[in-house]
A and B are shown apart, each in its own frame.
Chain A
Amino acid sequence: MAETLSFEEFCRDVFDPKKIFSKPEPLKGTRFLSCTQYILGPSCANYLAELGAEVIKIELPRRGEPMRHTTPFNEPKLYPLSKQMPELGTGLGFYGANHNEYFLSVDFHKPEGQAIVKMLASKCDGVVENYRAGTFDRWGIGYRQLSQINPRIIYQWLGGFGGWGPGRKRASYDILGQAQGGCFSVTGWPLDKGGLPAKQTIWIMDYWGGMMGAFQILACMYWRDNVSGLGNFMEYSQVQGAQRHLSDCIALYGRYGLVPQRWGNYDTLLSVHGIIKCGKSSYPDSKNPQELEEGYILVSAYSDADFGKLMRLIKRDDLAKKYATHDQRVKAESQYELYPAIEAWAKDKTKEQARDILNKEGINNQPVWNSKEVSNQEHFHLRGELEWLDDPTFGEVQSQGPAFHLSETPPRHKWALKPVGADNEYILGKLCGFSKTKIAELEADAII
């Protein structure tokens, strides 16, 4: 039957998000502990939970991990925070890094809490942990101790500077990884265009670092299950991730002493391939000041043919002649002439008007969309990259979908998050055999 479908129809069928729950989960039957806080560690374990692993997120009792207390401008929150603190809510900083998980609260500092971690680790495939390096070891629940109990355990530690070396005691967060790792130095407008080094809007070194950790865990599982039967200990340093990201810049420094700088919304390798300003707002009547701003659009015409078309369109045949080859138009000074010329053309247009004209000419482009415009794209909802999740605790919430699609065993989102300790009874009953009375006692003593 598949052969009779067009390719588009075939893809819509095999990747259809509506069929996801009738397909198997690839990591079904695996179990991970997520002893994590902030984003780097939590997101790493979250990617495994999307794939069907049973991920048990362990937080401090009652108030939970710090990310629950972060939210933009202290506004949006999901209530309740925990059974004990229903008047507080979980902030949206926590959202997106803890889908599908089981929420257990354990105080790691207390011996009874450490005993629970050991009982759980004996039945796990792996542990994701991002406390300060050596803390879990000191508490007797690090890799050296857990691998004695469970030699197949895959232990992924993630953190800022790593647990060894001259900077090992330094604390780190995403933005520090971006700053000191080199990311800021190549993002933003150059000084002569009024810009400073800029951060990426997302906590990218955290969220992407978590992806790197998840990939390495899956590779180690492959090695364990198909080759060696052995567990593993891995260390992922967030600042190192930045250097891995910028390997090409490092090569230019190493060979030629160049220090790559920022180049705003243009591209150092391709031209024309940059984001320009359109003169008009798409929503002149909006009450939201963000929507009153002028629009922006990526214009991409780097091949000779497309570039020629673009220059004809903006009535600058002189520039088409002057910069006939890519080598000519990719020079810095050429880019400084070309983009303002395109902006002059777009001055009396909205980004949608510019898009429509460029589309008609067959010139690649992409309007710069804000989160409202993205949320309203049929494309992303059709593909399951954005979804309205009917969350069992919080009702309808809009959520991101997984980062990739699999035809046979797709990743999925079942719930967004739960209150602190929501699964204490389920997990401790199932894996530790604790009675209801014992669980109530442990809760009363703030051990869980």
Chain B
Amino acid sequence: MGKNYPVLDWPAVPTPSPEEVYKGESDKAKEYALWLEENLRQSKNFEKPEALGNIRVLDCSNTMIIGHWCSSLFAELGAEVIMVEPPGGDPLRKLTPFGRKEYMFKDSESGEEVGARFLAEARSKQAITLDLTKPEGREILKKLAAHADVIIENAPPGQWDEWGIGYRQLSQINPRLVYCWVGQLGQWGPLKDKPGNLDPTAQAACGFVHGTGAPVAFGGTPTRSGWWMCDQVGGTGAAIGIMTALNYRDKVSGRGQFVEATGAAGVIRILDYNWGWYGIDGSIRPRYGNWDLAICIYAVNPCKDGQIMVGGGHDRLWFRIWRTAGKDRPEVEQHIIEDPNLKEVTGRLPHYRQVETYTTLCEWMKDNTRSEAETKLQAEEVASGGVSFLDEVSEFPHYKYRGHLEIIDDVFYGKVLIGASAFLGQRTPGRVKWIGRPTGHDNEEVYRGLLGFTKAGLDALKQKGVV
């Protein structure tokens, strides 16, 4: 505590070269991998076209990440995304873990600071300001809407409609507009959102929190996701909805439509068998810690220096796992192989059999570090891997080699390490162009370039606090 260690440049350990990666492999063995590299490597991204280059998105959401996450996916695939923030900026800009301002990112020109959470989802977007609480601001929004393919907003339910800029009104101005509202539980219905509702509201409401964490008997409590997970799942749902509407517009109808996506709907959709199981026999999905209710072996358990995941749901892998353990501890393998109850895949699923399986496995794992166990299991082609922390993740050779992380050397914010676009593609890959823009940076370009405002007119709006 208190000692200041120097922060090393990333990567602290050099990224392996292709020669090292494919050393000793025959031409035939590496041919497909090299074809993939040739076609997918991000270093060639900027030589390729963008899938959504002729789409313009206005991201008018703020204070939560669901809308920004959604518009990030569009920005990565080439859409022009303009963030429309209230004057002074999206309140999210100012949030930093535990209020620690020393861990914010400073704009080198204005000195304005922004938190990592906002900055991570400001990628490749323009930033303008507009006060929609003022009638003048709403008139300007209508003008912007005429130029937009997509609008994303997350105001309290009905707010924009009341202001005369909701779907009903904007679709009159621009029938081609795809209008998307995003939120936690919805803009209509008995549990519709209240002002200020944020993730993890949806996490708690959709059954996710109840199901995450260890059972009470194992000392656990219901547990939220460590990040605003519902926002990111719900935002991805919103993006699919919008993209669908754009496809339908340009292929079939020529018209836009109204889209609604929420964190709760997104996560309810992907909560696998919760609803079917309750429907069949009234079962409430219990918490099951780092084990899995439906697959065994498929769990994270403690080992010598942390925790490690081992997975093998079917026989081929099951026996390989025990063979691996048996090399160090023959009695461990013997115990499992000789138990007639564990012969069938499905026979391993009842709770007491899972307890037997994992306590036996841990007998072997407790003497192995994550890395030792991983090496031994992977030699048998068993899926396994240590629970990794962000420093380990950021330095993981495979991720570095593939460009899962990249440094954006930004005009305003300097070098920022980010999670790169996950959209690898042969012809239209995703990419990140810049990390973000200071509040209102693009007012001049957008209001003058897109709407034809004069310098004097824009200055007057600034004076009145409209932009």
Contacts and interface: CB of A to CB of B under 8 A. Distances in A.
B36 A133 contact: yes
Contact of A371 (B214, B255, B275): B275
A241 to B, nearest CB: 5
A173 B383 contact: yes
Interface in B112-137: 115-117, 119-121
Interface stretch (A111-119, A196-204, A314-322, A430-438): A196-204
Contact of A416 (B270, B276, B302): B276
B239 A225 contact: no
Interface in B399-442: 399, 401-402, 404-405, 407, 415-428, 430
A208 B272 CA distance: 11
B450 interface: no
Given A69-B346, A212-B423, A379-B190, A248 B119 contact: yes
B126 to A, nearest CB: 19
Interface string A388-401: 10000000111111
Given A218-B240, A291-B284, A198 B269 contact: no
Interface stretch (A102-110, A264-272, A419-427, A440-448): A264-272
Given A241-B422, A306-B196, A252 B257 contact: no
* Chain B interface, DSSP helix/strand/loop, else mixed: mixed
B366 interface: no
B191 A379 contact: yes
B219 interface: yes
Interface stretch (B138-146, B286-294, B325-333, B452-460): B286-294
A207 B268 CA distance: 11
Interface residues of A, number: 185
A372 B186 contact: no
B381 A171 contact: yes
A383 B292 contact: no
B95 interface: yes
Contact of B213 (A10, A198, A405): A198
A340 to B, nearest CB: 14
B232 to A, nearest CB: 6
Nearest to B425: A234
B10 interface: yes
Contacts of B388: 179-182, 184-185
Given A72-B294, A171-B382, A239-B399, A232 B426 contact: yes
B37 interface: yes
B465 interface: no
A214 interface: yes
B422 A372 contact: no
Interface string A322-336: 000011101110000
A202 B267 contact: yes
B222 A275 contact: yes
A265 B103 CA distance: 22
Given A133-B32, A166-B16, A364-B196, A211 B237 contact: yes
Contacts, number: 615
A293 B283 CA distance: 16
Contacts of A120: none
Given A232-B427, A371-B278, A406-B245, A244 B259 contact: no
A265 B224 CA distance: 6
B108 interface: no
A325 to B, nearest CB: 9
Contacts of B398: 161, 165-168, 239
Interface residues of B, number: 187
Contact of A218 (B33, B98, B247, B390): B247
Nearest to B407: A254
Contact of A244 (B97, B283, B284, B419): B419
Contacts of A171: 311, 381-383
A379 B8 contact: no
B211 A201 contact: yes
A72 B212 contact: no
B40 interface: yes
Nearest to B245: A406
Interface in A144-181: 144, 160-173, 175-176, 179-181
B402 A405 contact: no
A303 interface: yes
Contacts of A326: 99
Contacts of A253: 10, 390-391, 394, 417
Contact of A201 (B250, B251, B287): B287
B324 interface: no
Contacts of B274: 371, 374, 400
B277 A237 contact: no
B148 interface: no
B362 interface: no
Contacts of B174: none
A374 B189 contact: no
18 contacts: A95-B272, A168-B398, A199-B289, A208-B236, A212-B423, A215-B236, A222-B250, A225-B251, A228-B427, A253-B10, A254-B417, A254-B418, A265-B223, A367-B204, A374-B274, A405-B241, A406-B258, A407-B257
Given A93-B273, A197-B387, A265-B221, 10 more contacts: A91-B346, A92-B294, A187-B225, A202-B267, A240-B404, A257-B7, A270-B95, A300-B198, A375-B275, A388-B279
